[in-house]
Amino acid sequence: MDKLHHIVVVGGGAGGLELVTSLGNKLGRRGRARISLVDAGLTHVWKPLLHEVASGSLDASANEINYRAHARKHHYEFQLGRMSGLDRANKQIVIAPFHDEDGHEVVPERRVEYDTLVIAVGSTANDFGTPGAQDHCLFLDSLKQARRFHNLMLNAFLRKNHEALQGQPHKLNISIIGAGATGVELAAELRLASRELPIYGMNHLQSSDVAINVIEAAERILPALPGRLSAGATRELHRQNIQVLTGQPVSEIRENSLVMKDGTELASDMTIWAAGIKAPSFLAELDGLETNRSNQLVVEQTLQTTQDADIFAFGDCAACPQPGSDHPVPPRAQAAHQQADALFKTLCNRLKGEAAVPFVYNDHGSLINFSRYTTVGNLMGNLSGRSMYIEGKVARLFYVSLYRMHQVALHGFLRTGIIWLMDKISRAMQPRLKLH
């Protein structure tokens, strides 16, 4: 019996999970290929939702996908572990030893053979070497970090509420460094939390006692998006009593304050770093594969790495060129979704000896959600190439549809409809914020 072609996908983020689901449903189900997913976690949560998990407006446990259960349903294999090395000569990836919470080794280092390898390990925050960032900042790269943030936030509100009860100074200063989509949306979610928590017993701390600052080194927030969208977002932040500081690079983060480039010091009880991303550092040491300054794997337009045609990379961890542009594909969820679709076609073609599909990115616009307050965005016209500014309920509908499209890719239309109905019931029965 001939050995099945083994496709190994490393990274179960939005793009990686969508890809193995499609491959499993088509190739794995029919026994045409063996599909494997490798990830360091046991569950998947859509990364653009992590700021909602952090603020408590989303219960991650109700939105997690268990890789093992999903793999069984969609005809692929799952291996728990973190990729730590690559042996291209023997076509093997190295998976680091897995340890429990007490540091005991559960599974030793092991190797997994592949015929085709796809790397989709996403990105991590880039603090640009800012002094104090690693010691005093909170990050939102993973579900674990989002949950830690949520617990620290609840404790901070509880502490300040007690100080208010005792008649002591009780101002809570929260600083968000970086005014991209994550930073702006997190600010709105935190403002919602400051207004909702008093309803659940913390009624000595008022929303006005919580100062939220969004700090951006560029001259405007959302610098990568159109100016009109940036202006609309700025107006909404001001409406929610969130201070916006632009043109203000941070030179140092201290335990309870930030130091700006001009020497100004800003009090900060909680500091969140949301400025810039980079690919995981281990990619720069993968057996000669080409990377750029952000540790991204450099790939051709077909998403094949420049040094090995049997290794593909996509999503935030890959630098993919585009025709007529000096800039690679932007690190956005819609780009990863489109790349997963293109790569699915390429890998199916590969088994038939046919050519790879060149990836062409289509920008469908951007949407920024301000929690339950409003949503603003721009939609790109496919025919005219012009963008249309939208806000309010229409923009919110498009925003929600992005996540539902991700769910459809993972579960199909029927199950996504059931999940949507369960979400509605859960929101009607549960508190508006997760309180533990």
Q: What is the pLDDT of residues 204-262, one digit of tens each?
A: 889 999 999 999 999 999 998 888 889 999 999 999 999 999 998 999 999 999 999 99
Q: Does 132 have pLDDT greater than 90? A: yes
The radius of gyration computed from the CA coordinates of the chain, to the nearest angstrom, equals 22
> Cα–Cα distance between 144 and 422 in angstroms, integer?
24
Q: What is the pLDDT of residue 2?
A: 65
- Residues 137, 270, single domain; the answer is yes
pLDDT greater at residue 293 or residue 374: 293
CATH classification at residue 142: 3.50.50.60
Q: Does 383 have pLDDT greater than 60? A: no
- Residues 109, 35, single domain; the answer is yes
Maximum distance among all Cα pairs of the chain, rounded to whole angstroms: 78
Which of 325, 351, 377 finishes a domain? 351
Q: Which two tokens stand for residue 122?
A: 């996403």
Q: Does 85 have pLDDT greater than 50? A: yes
Mention every residue, 6+ apart, whose C-beta is less than 8 A from residue 123: 141, 277, 278, 279, 280, 315, 316, 317, 331
* CA-wise closest residue to 342 among 315, 382, 381, 311: 315
SS3 (DSSP) at 29: coil
Q: What is the pLDDT of residues 262-275, one digit of tens each?
A: 999 999 999 999 99
Specify if 360 maps to a domain: no
Q: Does 344 have pLDDT greater than 90? A: yes
Percent of the chain with pLDDT over 70: 97
SS3 (DSSP) at 415: helix
Q: Does 324 have pLDDT greater than 60? A: yes
pLDDT greater at residue 340 or residue 393: 340
Q: What is the pLDDT of residue 386?
A: 66
- Residues 369, 263, single domain; the answer is no
Q: Which domain holds residue 89?
A: 6-123+279-351
Q: What is the pLDDT of residue 13?
A: 93
Specify if 420 maps to a domain: yes
- Residues 186, 267, single domain; the answer is yes
Q: What is the mean pLDDT of the chain?
A: 91
Which of 248, 276, 304 finishes a domain? 276
CA torsion through residues 385, 388, 394, 396, sign: positive
Q: What's the mean pLDDT in 411-435?
A: 82
Q: Does 177 have pLDDT greater than 50? A: yes
- Residues 196, 180, single domain; the answer is yes
pLDDT greater at residue 432 or residue 251: 251
Q: Does 12 have pLDDT greater than 60? A: yes
Mention every residue, 6+ apart, whose C-beta is less than 8 A from residue 367: 375, 376, 377, 395, 398, 399, 402
Number of domains in the chain: 3
